[in-house]
Structure 1
Amino acid sequence: MRRTPLPLALAACAALLAACGLKPASAFIPSIEPGTIKPIDGLKDAKIKVTSKEFTEQIVLGKIAVLALTAAGANAVDHTNVQGSVTARKSITGGDNDLMWEYTGTGWITYLGETDPIPDPAEQFEAVRKADLQKNRIAWLAPPAPLNNTYTIAVSPANQKKYGLAKLSDMSKVPVPQRTFCAEPEFFSRNDGLRGMLDKYGLKYGSTVPSRNVMQMASGVIYNAASAGRCTFGEVTETDGRIQALDLKVLADDKKFFPNYNPAITVREPVLREHPELTEVFAKISPKLTTQVMRDLNSKVDVDGNDPVFVARDWLKSQGFIK
């Protein structure tokens, strides 16, 4: 799935640091001390190469992994902030990197080529875990995080109140002229995107949702457009920090159309076999990563402008994992 990249200001800062001969922020690991994550003999000085995709949430999760591994005594190599899901994934399957957070929906649909998501999150995790290990020797560590970074639809408080909107089934309450959507081009064309969602909820693109009612735009514009009422319905992702910053209201997917995108640590099977202690490290962290927690962490980057590595560090400290 496409997600929001870091603010341009952070990219500019990274370029400036590189020009000055310093390490860019993407590779900087701040000094930490172990907390409840303590050094583990089996991970002492083990070289573990960590990667992530380029959008905010993935970078924050990648930094969490790097810092947790460092606290556990590993030599964590920070290769986070890779352009695109496929590139990051290939770096794992090809052996250039060892470990990354991945989403169950992405693994199932994008990497394993399945077309029908499994509605139950636990069943989806077990299915992708089994298949990826058998086909690609990629292990998924249990438990997955409860956060769900899936597509969803949001509305402004004014439109929520005006039309009585609480769930996606309520889209039909809105008169056709006002039944307008802001969506990314990718969301418009995906099987698990706009037209599939409309069909699931008894609406039809081209008739009950006229083509002129759908405005395609970049994801960064959609949040403000929905907030300002340029469109009644805006395509967003559940954990984006701008949802709370703009006080957008997320509509419940009451017919369970959208796939589950629960993240879990994925690691090359030979690396896990050599270092089974990895499971212990991340089993402590994953349950703490709820949708609201991730939304808050993303907001600290995308809205407040903080560096992802310090956002990750401060959260790990707040949980007692590190000092």
Structure 2
Amino acid sequence: MHTVAVLALDGVIPFDLSTPIEVFSRTRLPDGRAAYRVRVCAPVREVDAGVFTLRAHWGLDALAEADTIVLPGCADPTVPVPVEVTDALRRAAASGTRIASICAGAFVFAATGLLDGMRATTHWIGAPLLARMHPGIEVDPDVLYVDNGQFLTSAGAAAGLDLCLHMIRRDHGSAVAADAARLSVMPLEREGGQAQFIVHEQPPAPAGATLEPLLRWMEENASRELTLADIADHAGMSPRTINRRFREQTGTTPLQWLHRARIRQAQHLLETTAHPVDRIATQVGFGSSTSFRDRFKRQVGTSPYAYRRAFRGGERIA
């Protein structure tokens, strides 16, 4: 039987902790036998989980006996990870143990150095901090999970469930994983990635930046088919100069900034109106619904229809 060790540290997020326990404990093989043995391990006997105190039956030595170790998220990812924890995880990795993290558990994982040189993910809110704290990791904030083979990372709490189902499918095939998904009232695969949940704010201009009036004008006129020449004329600059000023003050180009403004407006309309997608494409300034759908998919990670279905609900809307 495959042994899964769930590592609990002080500040552990209860949902992140319970997800692997629930999913792996309930997974059954075709003949009805349990597919996994689950153990909650901790460096101390009692762990503070915020709303309750957890008493762990197994210590760090149990990690050496596990086939898979799951690292749930902790409330404060900046808290230093105990040396005995990182050492135990490194020893387990050296022996071939699979290690997976949920949400901010990626910070615990990253502290071991095992993710250096690899692609990884975490909750989109924490992704910039993870990238700053561990520049050796290629942090991808758009995906639900990343599978590097022995080492896996997932985004927020719900994405931890996606990752658990993915590992079950790797271990025992799609049929067993599909049964586990049905017990969790969860699709085996969700459409899109984490990008659809990210709040795409515009790159801010520094306080007092000379572009502030122009940015307001562009926001108000995003529905027009503005060209770089139109923007430069309004600003009283040449296209070359306006491009340089934009990069200096916003880190992007005028047209990229404008497209982000349009996509943000489209997201609002998809969430709050029943307008057809073709009408929204025109309303926010895209020349065609095809170009709108393509750009929306590239930036948000899913289609306009799927985004509306996820974030509006209620009646069916074209």
TM-score normalised per structure 2: 0.26
TM-score normalised per structure 1: 0.26
Larger Rg: 2
Q: Identify which of structures 1 and 2 has the higher relative contact order when contacts are C-alpha pairs closer than 8 Å and 6+ apart.
A: 1
